[in-house]
Amino acid sequence: MAKTAKTSGLSGFPEWLPAERLVEQHVIDVFREVAELHGFSGIETRSVEPLEQLLRKGEIDKEVYVLRRLHAEDGDGSGAHGIDPARTLGLHFDLTVPLARYVLQHQNDLAFPLRRFQIQKVWRGERPQEGRFREFYQADLDVVGQDTLPGHIEAEVAVVMAEILSRLPLPQVTIHANTRRLSEGFFRSIGLEDHTGVLRSLDKLPKIGPERVRALLLEETGASPKQAQACLDFAGIRTRDASFAERVRELGGGGEMVEQGIAELTAVLERVEAAVPGVICADLSIARGLDYYTGTVFESFLEGHESLGSICSGGRYDSLAADNRHSYPGVGLSIGLTRLVSRILSAGLAVPSRPVPTCVLVAVTDEQSRPLSDQVARTLRSRGIACEVAPTAAKLGKQIRYADRRGVPFVWFPGTDGAADEVKDIRSGEQHVAEPGAWEPPAQDRTVQIQPGT
Amino acid sequence: MAKTAKTSGLSGFPEWLPAERLVEQHVIDVFREVAELHGFSGIETRSVEPLEQLLRKGEIDKEVYVLRRLHAEDGDGSGAHGIDPARTLGLHFDLTVPLARYVLQHQNDLAFPLRRFQIQKVWRGERPQEGRFREFYQADLDVVGQDTLPGHIEAEVAVVMAEILSRLPLPQVTIHANTRRLSEGFFRSIGLEDHTGVLRSLDKLPKIGPERVRALLLEETGASPKQAQACLDFAGIRTRDASFAERVRELGGGGEMVEQGIAELTAVLERVEAAVPGVICADLSIARGLDYYTGTVFESFLEGHESLGSICSGGRYDSLAADNRHSYPGVGLSIGLTRLVSRILSAGLAVPSRPVPTCVLVAVTDEQSRPLSDQVARTLRSRGIACEVAPTAAKLGKQIRYADRRGVPFVWFPGTDGAADEVKDIRSGEQHVAEPGAWEPPAQDRTVQIQPGT
């Protein structure tokens, strides 16, 4: 249909229909449930931060949305005469900058290590394109220590990540892990000191392929052909178990840093494998973010949807925030939730078992007997069965069609003149006598199920 | 403590500590659960609307936050050379304007009557003060019809409102109902044609008292002293049952419109009383919004916190939206959720039974046996018991103090060298042998309970 400008969508600001929102809500619910089972506290931060805070991550400053009161007097720092970053507010573009500020602000009221999850919308003024939004949900989970944070937390966060991903309605997900010490140690142990340069080159592997990466390594990092080959071989190592270690050593990797990295990565693999089998692998090509992260780093890919990029990433960072008394190291992971939900919906990876929460439509025989239908609905609801009462006392066939059009699976007919109530499954047409205080819908119909798509 | 500017809060942008957020999350969960039980679909709309849409409700235009990309080129309509309302985006200040746009935009994909709830943050650039925020949650629930909407939906929405409010951790809530036809019909039937003027005067009763309202009625609506007295008497009618009707008639109210209003209001009282006894009353002083609402109107007050004003308001409106094919009448209610949560927290009306989701801290005897502790935690979690594993293998006394500091009620000691596991309730000090596959915490400790404050 032709949409008028007035009612058309805004590019980059996705919005779901009610049935689609059930899928998004399910993803949010799973994230929250698993996080809480692992003792993570949910928090929300305000949507705005002073612009000067947001600009600290220099490279994405152009993505920030700045706020201005429409009838602002002189006082809000964002008038027509330029922007004052200390007094201007911007919408947060991730949940990490707000977390750092929250931790510093509330440090005296928080118990460390802080285990927190946070599911909120963030905004980026990027040019919208396939899978890139201007407003989207991020779902983050971090453990933040005060001054110290034990290394095994890296594996612990990966376990939570694996549990969340394995419970979402998704094809096979694989979490790819690497650790900074292993990469840096390896490059150093084969004689390459410019380890960040090597990482930067290897990061381009998926985009430009091995031959052009080889050229980069030769030109920009001063690698010899043999060293470049070793780097490419190193980045090709991908194993489900600890056997990556032997292959690193065969390529000439060794020394304290490499062995430390091997021990770290092995611990992560073993702990995640014990908790959620078949999800984690060591992938020594993972380079992105290794200059930011200081320990283990994770990316996650969806089988058949590798073009989506990493759907859940994270790792260890040694300085989320600091003041003159404390530093705050952390381990975190982040899911680009809207992006993932958008793919689930567009690829039909999951569908709700019905488009509405309603399990039962209680029919109304005539307006005089509406209180009787209300009573049936109340009894069903008191037993946790979602229902609505028909809006009009239309002919029963019309009420059944009404339920059908909404996707409500059952219609309840209150008995009149002493007759028993009956309930009809409008999918099968089956109808039988029932009592509102005792009738049970089939387990799969009690609440909306989010099912794998076809 | 002295807070640095860098980390201090922003006035008007509230933020909760983890334990406080548990209360807010509970309020959100209750709203959603009751709404879904009544067959309402959750939706979210984008946070922004074109400024021209937001400005239609003319009187609050000064509260709108306008967005601007920090490095905007010429193209976003909000540059230094003035604002183009068609191309500029603003943050929504309520959930009604977005609902109207959503309904028009998606009308071909929605089933009517649409039953939708929506819990989202909204923004208003007002001067912050006690209980007034610049960023806050609203929780809305509306039934929207296409072209028609039966009158009994007004009672239905009031029932949902009553159920939500009665399940929240609040003192006694009373829903005050009035209906436009009753007020307007009464004023007309005693000879006052300027019924909106009368409503406007009566709306000031709580603020300026009856004598000054009487003066207003005499001066501004042309009422005689006798008519003014009748209006004041009318506004003083407040009954739990249908007896309001007789008193209206005694004051001289009559005619078709009055009798219609009486029938409407009586139906609402009876239906809500049947569903949630002791919550609803007829209150003929309710005037606010009667010029916007076209049928029944609701306000709700919290015993002992009347100064908060109405915590949940709504009613019937005949034109949420319209295009050249359809009009969309609705009945809705809205809770200023952040405002309510803020009061719950500041007055200590409710407290979480513990500050974290964690029920059990699994102790770690030494780092070598951490996998054993992990296994215990996995088993407990598989049974829905939230737990975390101690971050370090400190002395057991220190691990117990760690749990205590976090507010975790139980500490689990995995048995070593063939000894049985034991679990300790650190509040009572009681400790006994337990198996992770069988142990049950007391029901009230399984998950966080939100309890009435003291």
Q: Which of A308-312, B75-79, B157-161, B307-311 has the lowest mean pLDDT?
A: B75-79
pLDDT at A59: 53
pLDDT at A5: 37
Give me the mean pLDDT over the B319-325 stretch: 92
pLDDT tens per residue across span A168-218: 999 999 999 999 999 999 999 999 999 989 999 999 998 899 999 999 999
Q: Is B293 annotated as a binding residue?
A: yes
pLDDT at position A139 over 90: yes
pLDDT at B7: 47
Give me the mean pLDDT over the A350-374 stretch: 96
Q: Which of A7-11, A261-265, B41-45, B415-419 has the lowest mean pLDDT?
A: A7-11
Q: Which of A108-117, A244-253, B52-61 has the lowest mean pLDDT?
A: B52-61
Pair B348, B330: CB distance under 8 Å: no
User: Which of A370, A452, A355 is CA-nearest to residue A414?
Assistant: A370
pLDDT tens per residue across span B193-210: 999 899 999 999 988 999
pLDDT at A7: 47
User: How close A290 gets to chain B, by Cα (Å)?
Assistant: 25
pLDDT tens per residue across span A35-49: 999 999 999 999 999
pLDDT at position A388 over 50: yes
Give me the mean pLDDT over the B230-254 stretch: 96
Give me the mean pLDDT over the A73-96 stretch: 73
Give me the torsion for CA of B153, B156, B160, B163, rounded to 10°: 160
- B223 phi and psi, to 5 degrees? -75, 145
Q: In 3-state terms, what secondary structure has residue A409?
A: coil
User: How close B367 gets to chain A, by Cα (Å)?
Assistant: 10
Give me the mean pLDDT over the A341-363 stretch: 97
Q: Quote the CA–CA distance of A30 and A25 in Å, as a whole number.
A: 9
Distance spanning both ends of chain B, measured CA to CA = 27
pLDDT at B371: 93
pLDDT at B379: 98
Q: Quote the CA–CA distance of A245 and B250 in Å, as a whole number.
A: 93
pLDDT at position B3 over 90: no
Per-residue burial over B45-54, b if 16 or more Cβ lie within 10 Å, else e, is bbbbbbbebb
pLDDT tens per residue across span B345-374: 999 999 999 999 999 999 999 999 999 999
pLDDT at B257: 96
Q: Which of A80-84, A134-138, B383-387 has the lowest mean pLDDT?
A: A80-84
Q: Quote the CA–CA distance of B410 and B428 in Å, as a whole number.
A: 10
pLDDT tens per residue across span B259-281: 999 999 999 999 999 999 999 99
Give me the mean pLDDT over the B86-92 stretch: 89
Pair A92, A140: CB distance under 8 Å: no
User: Which of A263, A192, A274, A184 is CA-nearest to residue A225?
Assistant: A192
- Residues of chain A positioned with their CB less than 8 A from the CB of B388: 38-39, 115
pLDDT at A79: 52
Closest-CA residue in chain B for A48? Answer: B13
pLDDT tens per residue across span B108-132: 999 999 999 999 999 998 887 777 8
User: How close A188 gets to chain B, by Cα (Å)?
Assistant: 30
pLDDT at position B213 over 80: yes
Q: In 3-state terms, what secondary structure has residue A274?
A: helix
Residue type, position A353, single letter = S
CB-based contacts of A398-401 (< 8 A; 24+ apart in sequence): A399/A361, A399/A363, A399/A364, A400/A363, A400/A424, A400/A426
Asked if the bond preceding A128 is cis, omega within 30° of 0, the reply is no
Q: Which of A284-298, A395-409, B43-57, B342-356 has the lowest mean pLDDT?
A: A284-298
Residue A157 pLDDT class (50, 70, 90 cuts)? very high
Tokens found for residue B261: 């209003």
User: Which of A331, A102, A140 is CA-nearest to residue B17?
Assistant: A102
How do strand A135-144 and strand A114-123 relate by DSSP bridges? antiparallel
How do strand A360-362 and strand A410-413 relate by DSSP bridges? parallel
Residue B73 pLDDT class (50, 70, 90 cuts)? low
Interface check A325 vs B, CB under 8 A: no
Handedness of CA A6, A9, A15, A19 (dihedral sign): positive
pLDDT at position B50 over 80: yes
Contact A125 B387 (CB under 8 A): no
User: CB-hemisphere CA count at 13 Å for B440?
Assistant: 3
Contact A9 B105 (CB under 8 A): yes
CA-to-CA separations, B408 to B274, B361, B362, B387, B402, in angstroms, rounded: 42, 7, 10, 9, 9
Interface check B401 vs A, CB under 8 A: no
Q: Pick the residue of B45, B46, B70 with the most A CBs within 10 A to test the interface with A by mutation.
A: B70
ipTM of the complex: 0.94
Handedness of CA A209, A211, A216, A222 (dihedral sign): positive
pLDDT at position A3 over 50: no
User: Which of A37, A42, A92 is CA-nearest to residue A64?
Assistant: A92
Give me the mean pLDDT over the A305-314 stretch: 93
Mean pLDDT across chain B = 92
User: CB-hemisphere CA count at 13 Å for A442?
Assistant: 10
Handedness of CA A85, A89, A95, A100 (dihedral sign): positive
Residue type, position A180, single letter = R
Pair A331, A116: CB distance under 8 Å: no
Contact A68 B66 (CB under 8 A): yes
Which residues neighbour B124 within 8 Å (Cβ) at sequence distance 6 or greater?
Answer: B60, B63, B64, B65, B93, B133, B134
pLDDT at position B2 over 50: no
User: Which of A386, A383, A403 is CA-nearest to residue A394?
Assistant: A403
Pair B312, B324: CB distance under 8 Å: no
User: How close B304 gets to chain A, by Cα (Å)?
Assistant: 29
pLDDT at A206: 87
Residue B414: in which H helix or E strand, if any? Answer: none
pLDDT at A63: 84
- Residues of chain B positioned with their CB less than 8 A from the CB of A40: 357
pLDDT at position A454 over 90: no
pLDDT tens per residue across span A18-34: 999 999 999 999 999 99
Pair B276, B159: CB distance under 8 Å: yes
pLDDT at A76: 54
User: CB-hemisphere CA count at 13 Å for B133?
Assistant: 24
CA-to-CA separations, A283 to A101, A240, A273, A286, B392, in angstroms, rounded: 33, 9, 15, 6, 28
Residue A74 pLDDT class (50, 70, 90 cuts)? very low
- Residues of chain B positioned with their CB less than 8 A from the CB of A408: 39
Contact A38 B386 (CB under 8 A): yes
Would you call B416 exposed, middle or buried from its count of C-beta atoms within 10 A (0-12, 13-18, 19+)?
A: exposed
- Residues of chain B positioned with their CB less than 8 A from the CB of A125: 69-70, 72
